[in-house]
Structures are given as C-alpha cells and as structure tokens.
Amino acid sequence: MSTSGIRSVRIYHNNLWARYKGAIFSKIFANSIRSGVSTAFIQVGETDFYRKDMGGVDRSYHQYPYNLLFSGSYDQIPQYKLIASLSADLIKNPSDLVILPGYHRLEYWAMLIICILRRRRRAVFCDSTTFDRAKDPWKEKAKAIFFRQCDGVFCYGIRSKQYVASYGIDPQKIFDGCQASALARDYDAVAIQSYYGSNSFSSASSSKFLYVGRLAKQKGLFDLLDAFCRIREHNPEATLDLVGSGLLEEDLRQRARRLGIESAVAFLGIKTPEDIGRLLMSSAAMVLPSHTEPWGLVVNEALSFGCPVVVSDVCGCVPELVRDGVTGYSFPAGDVDALTNAMMSAAQLSKDRNDVARRCLEVIANFTPERAATQILRGCVSILNTPQ
C-alpha cells in the first residue's frame, strides 16, 4: 500500500476483448496521478464465450500497462484456477482500494472475502438494471449481501444506479456514468457534422436500417425482421443490414426467407469500427430491439456518427441517450407494432439528417471515455477519503 501520499487502486476486469474498457482504462491511467492515486490493471482473460466469434482482441485500445492472467477465453478457465490466481494476485499485491469485476461468480466472492479479511477497501462494477433479466430471489439476496460489503459501486447509468440503490445501498456510494464507447481511432466529431452539412442524405439511405451486435435471442431480432417486413409493405425500397455474428444467424435467415424479405436483408458479418462508422452514416436509423440489455453501447456509437436510433425501453441507455423525436425513439420491448412505428418515425426524422446529426452529437458529447474515467477516479477518491 502507498506511503507517499499517492493511494493505490487495483482494478480487475474480465476480459481484454472489451475495447470500451480499454479506452476508459487508458484515460484512467493517464489521469490517475493528478487525482492522487496510482492505478494497476489486471485483465483475467482475453475474451469470453459471447465475444470469441466477434473478432480478435485489439490491443491498440489498451494504452496502459496491464497484467493478463490467462490467455484464451474466460469461460474456458477452470474455476479453481480463477479462484487461486485471483486470490494469489490480491494477496501478493496489497493496495488501498480494490475494484472487483463483478459479483456473480465464486471467484469474485473469494476476492471479496480476502478484501474483508485484509481490511482493504473494495468496490465493484455493476451494469445490471431492474429491466435487465428475470431475477432469482436467492441470487438477489446474495447480491444484496455483496453490495453491502463493498465501499462503493460503479454503474453504467441512471437505471443501474437505481437498481443498486434498491438494495438499500447509500446513494453516496454509487457512482454512475462509468461507461463510454470506444470509437475508431481517427474519429472526429467535427468532421462528422461537417460531412452531413455538405452532403445531402440520399433517398436510398433514408430507407436503410441497421443493426449492430450479436445475433442472439435476447437481442429481439425476430421482432426486427417482423417489423421490417411491415415496413416493406409501405416502402418496398427499404433495406436492413445486420452486422455481427452468432448462433441465431441461420434461424434469422430462415425467418427472412419465410417472410419474403430475404433479398432486402443483408447479413454483413463482423465489421471493423471504421466500417461500422460508415454504415451508420449511410443508414436512416440504428435499431436495437433487445429484450434484455444492461446498457447498449452501440447506441453511443450510433449517436457519435450522427445516426438516430430505435431502442427498446428495457435498454439501460434509454433515459440518458434516447430522446423521442430528438435522437430517435424508444418502444416497448417485444411490441412489433410499436417497433414498426418507431422505425418509420426514425426514418422520417433522418430526412433532415444534418439537424438530427447535430442533436445526436450534442447528446453523446457528454458520454466519452474521458468523462467515464473522471467518474471512476472521482469515485475512487471519494471511497478512499471516507473514514472506515
């Protein structure tokens, strides 16, 4: 632990794949000393089951020193090895504050117990919300115990903060706004706005819809195909691009064939951040129809490229980012009629693309890796300054 007036913070994270964490951790590292703390970062694995088919790890987003405990996927590491390695790392590397990666696995409980026994301040990352997924009563009780044994909780946004507070946690110990998307390295918001100011939005683009993410059941993609089929009845020129991969791809292709919209639906597979940026700039709206979604970082990406969004109301980002008629529309998850109407409204909104892009960029300007890093560092300092 520190004896020089600079307090030490040790931050653990599940996997190196997450570019957005890389962007945020890089800013934390760059700004930590001026906040009066030194930071160390431990990545447990390289990727996980849900992301292993979504491209490899891009280490260029991780501009900070880190220790990688295991190569390969987190899910393939035996739990006893996880418990042993994380526990040993904690014991060998004392720090003034430990930030745990989560609360839903045995190795995190082992880390919590070690922190308690060694009287180390501890905090935890939480991205869940009340709307996230069905809750198991026993797990909820365990989660309440975990939160109450922590000195702080770092949340994505308003909904996750409210969720943690519902367990009786002091709101002063909950720090939100701790997320941001990792954009292409040459991203320039001024250039994005200038592009729309000097280029008219084509009629083809105003009929083009885009989805970016895993092709998974919880993403509501069958709803999206059903809604898009109805849109095609009104606008036969409409198209839908699906970016991403997943186990549901063949089922989605079959549904598109049955609906008679196969020729208008393109499965584009994995794309680079640069490719996704170009697709967003040439689409009427990015649609995220999830049935469960802690936040929805793709919404951050869409707004960053001036693209309005259609987002189900269970997504954690809705209160902060989705402003009806301004940055897009939200709709009740699973309601295909409402999704259809929201997509058509977003397409209409996008016809004045220069204006809607300006509004999108204004909203998302408050959700950057710099801001997320500032929130996390502010939380670290607050925890460390609170008497035990």
Give yes or no for residue 134 having a pLDDT over 80. Answer: no
172-188 pLDDT per residue, tens: 999 999 999 999 888 99
Question: 145 by DSSP, 3-state: which?
Answer: helix
For position 98, what pLDDT does the model report? 98
Would you say residue 1 lies in a domain? Answer: no
Go through the chain and tell me how many residues it has: 388
Give yes or no for residue 210 having a pLDDT over 60. Answer: yes
Mean pLDDT along residues 130-159: 91
97-119 pLDDT per residue, tens: 999 999 999 999 999 999 999 99
Q: Quick one: 155 and 267 in the same domain?
A: no
Q: What is the model's pTM?
A: 0.93
Q: Quick one: 93 and 146 in the same domain?
A: yes
Question: 46 by DSSP, 3-state: which?
Answer: coil
Q: Quick one: 147 and 253 in the same domain?
A: no
Structural tokens at position 356:
């809607």
Q: Quick one: 36 and 119 in the same domain?
A: yes
Residue ranges making up the domain that contains 205: 189-364
Q: Quick one: 206 and 267 in the same domain?
A: yes
| Residue 6: count of CB within 10 angstroms of its CB | 14
Structural tokens at position 189:
């918001």
**Structural domains of the chain, count:** 2
Q: Where are the alpha helices (DSSP H) in the chain?
A: 19-31, 79-92, 106-117, 137-148, 158-165, 189-198, 221-234, 249-259, 273-281, 297-304, 318-321, 336-349, 353-364, 369-385
Let me know if 178 is exposed, middle or buried by CB neighbors in 10 A (0-12, 13-18, 19+): buried
Return d(Cα 264, Cα 248) in angstroms, integer: 18
List of residues 6+ apart from 215 with CB closer than 8 A: 221, 242, 244, 245, 246, 247, 248, 249, 252
Return d(Cα 153, Cα 126) in angstroms, integer: 7
Return d(Cα 382, Cα 371) in angstroms, integer: 16
Q: Quick one: 157 and 210 in the same domain?
A: no
Are 143 and 116 within 8 A, CB to CB? Answer: no
Are 45 and 73 within 8 A, CB to CB? Answer: yes
Antiparallel, parallel or unpaired: β 152-155 and 309-312: unpaired
Q: DSSP character for 16?
A: T
For position 135, what pLDDT does the model report? 75
366-388 pLDDT per residue, tens: 999 999 999 999 999 999 999 87
Task: Name the pLDDT band for 331 (thresholds 50, 70, 90).
Answer: very high
Comparing 10-14, 196-200, 291-295, 344-348, which segment has the lowest mean pLDDT? 196-200
Would you say residue 325 lies in a domain? Answer: yes
Q: Quick one: 152 and 210 in the same domain?
A: no
Q: Quick one: 205 and 330 in the same domain?
A: yes
Give yes or no for residue 198 having a pLDDT over 90. Answer: no
Task: Name the pLDDT band for 51 (thresholds 50, 70, 90).
Answer: low
Would you say residue 2 lies in a domain? Answer: no
Q: Quick one: 314 and 196 in the same domain?
A: yes
* Side chain identity, residue 170: D
Return d(Cα 236, Cα 232) in angstroms, integer: 5
Give yes or no for residue 224 having a pLDDT over 70. Answer: yes
Average pLDDT taken over every residue of the chain: 94
Q: Quick one: 378 and 357 in the same domain?
A: no
Looking at residue 331, which CATH number applies to its domain?
A: 3.40.50.2000
- Token pair 């300006």: residue: 358
Q: Quick one: 193 and 338 in the same domain?
A: yes
Task: Name the pLDDT band for 14 (thresholds 50, 70, 90).
Answer: very high
For position 5, what pLDDT does the model report? 80
For position 200, what pLDDT does the model report? 77
- Token pair 């801001």: residue: 371
Task: Name the pLDDT band for 201 (thresholds 50, 70, 90).
Answer: confident
Comparing 21-35, 44-58, 135-149, 221-235, which segment has the lowest mean pLDDT? 44-58
250-306 pLDDT per residue, tens: 999 999 999 999 999 999 999 988 999 999 999 999 999 999 999 999 999 999 999
Task: Name the pLDDT band for 50 (thresholds 50, 70, 90).
Answer: low
For position 203, what pLDDT does the model report? 67
Mean pLDDT along residues 31-55: 86
Give yes or no for residue 204 having a pLDDT over 70. Answer: no
Structural tokens at position 9:
């913070």
Mean pLDDT along residues 339-348: 97
Are 163 and 128 within 8 A, CB to CB? Answer: yes
For position 229, what pLDDT does the model report? 98
Structural tokens at position 15:
């996997």
Task: Name the pLDDT band for 55 (thresholds 50, 70, 90).
Answer: low
Q: Quick one: 244 and 354 in the same domain?
A: yes
Task: Name the pLDDT band for 47 (thresholds 50, 70, 90).
Answer: confident
Comparing 80-84, 132-136, 185-189, which segment has the lowest mean pLDDT? 132-136
Give yes or no for residue 1 having a pLDDT over 70. Answer: no
Would you say residue 175 lies in a domain? Answer: yes
Give yes or no for residue 123 having a pLDDT over 90. Answer: yes
For position 153, what pLDDT does the model report? 98
Mean pLDDT along residues 136-144: 89
